[in-house]
Amino acid sequence: MNCFPCFSSGEKKGSKSIDGRKVQGQGTSQRGIVSQRPPGDFFSQNSKQVPTESTTKDSGNGNIAAQAFTFRELASVTKNFRPECLVGEGGFGRVYKGRLEKTGQLVAVKQLDRNGLQGNREFLVEVLMLSLLHHQNLVNLIGYCADGDQRLLVYEFMPLGSLEDHLFDVPPDQKPLDWYSRMKIATGAAKGLEYLHDNANPPVIYRDLKSSNILLDGEFNPKLSDFGLAKLGPVGDKINDSSRVMGTYGYCAPEYARNGQLTLKSDVYSFGVVLLELISGRRVIDTTRPTNEQNLVAWAQPMFKDQMRFPELVDPFLRGNYPTKALNQAVAVAAMCLQEEPIVRPLMTDVVMALGFLVVAPTTEGSSTPSRAETPPPKQEMNADRAMQESEMDRQRAVAEAIEWGSNSRGNQRSWRESGSL
């Protein structure tokens, strides 16, 4: 019996071996995504089985399968899981920094707590998800270990840790994130979600977007991590009803927290929370603040209705160093993502388009002038390139302004209805 019935494909080429059995490689569409549409949720019939033993290889279609490690190998990589190699800890277990002996690559080894929040099912989901889905804004899974009752995952090492480490409780000797770094992180995270929603087939609901799950490389490029709670999205207008609500309090969409109704728009809400955290520098839930400020979304909602109050949302660490128009549009995007009704939240494609305009930092005067050693391109090519760039900027600006207008319009209509009912 195959461990992974959901991901078998009719194509013969690119087969790979897991647990001594062959699993056919996935066919891909023109966008390089999985073209087979598995029915229902992941591993509904085999949730307790895990991959073991053999090392899988390149399937020949861009989906690089994860390598199987022994527990002894990973103990050697992490120097027997010494405390000085520990770089993180959470409900899932501990994360250690190590270096692979064969390649010398720095890696992060996540050792799952056998009594923690992730079980065999979540472990298997994460291995398969990250083996099948590849994007510059998704963390790269290098391998796994399933020796006996040990469950470990091996990722590329992200030197700057998580977004949470740079946004909250910043120590005095650490430089706070500037505005453009924050928008860069927001845009990258949005692109990761856009890939899961629009390129994966069937679409994937991430279900656990939060600041601690956004990892940063040495240049603050973000990558989404921890896919143990990911779920296949519904097809068409259908809704996934889940009796087991997963995720993190404060980041979960209200309809999912209340009724277990899970859609792609649930991720959009979570993204709105993260974007608001980036703007404000506040945690989504912070019990150390005054009662009316402990819930970030509830605290920000009244300010969404009045553009003059948008500066009140801004992280004091920015010290006013942000473009006013960019702030207005970023807040408008967050407000639209945080709409109570899922149907009025934007698609991640529109969010990426709107944020793409905000992430461009202003150039210094004369920076576009070529040096004497450079040979300037022909004038016609320069004009064509400039026209294309301006056209793209116009599209991004139009989407951002449309989202901002939509947010303000809904806020004004709500205020009018409230005043009319008095």
Annotated binding site: 110
Q: Do 298 and 285 form a contact (C-beta atoms < 8 A)?
A: no
Q: Which two tokens stand for residue 200?
A: 């994966």
Residue among 198, 184, 241 at smallest CA distance from 358 = 184
Cα-based angle 376, 382, 383 (whole degrees, multiple of 5): 150
Q: How far is CA 160 from the centre of its chain?
A: 16
> Which residues participate in the annotated binding site for ATP?
110
Q: Do 347 and 272 form a contact (C-beta atoms < 8 A)?
A: no
**Paired sense of beta strands 67-68 and 86-90, if any:** unpaired
Q: Rounded distance, CA 161 to CA 416, Å?
A: 45
Active site residue 208: yes
CA distances from 107 to 146, 316, 383, 386 (A): 18, 35, 45, 41
**Paired sense of beta strands 152-156 and 141-145, if any:** antiparallel
**Cβ-Cβ contacts under 8 Å for 420 (sequence gap 6 or more):** none
Selected catalytic residue, list 19, 113, 169, 208? 208
Q: Which two tokens stand for residue 40?
A: 């229902």
Helix (H) or strand (E) holding 264: helix 264-280
Q: How far is CA 82 from the centre of its chain?
A: 30
Q: Which two tokens stand for residue 4?
A: 């992974």
Q: Rounded distance, CA 253 to CA 7, Å?
A: 29
Q: Rounded distance, CA 225 to CA 162, Å?
A: 10
* Sequence letter at residue 33: I
* Sequence letter at residue 9: S
Q: Rounded distance, CA 255 to CA 308, Å?
A: 30
Residues marked as catalytic: 208
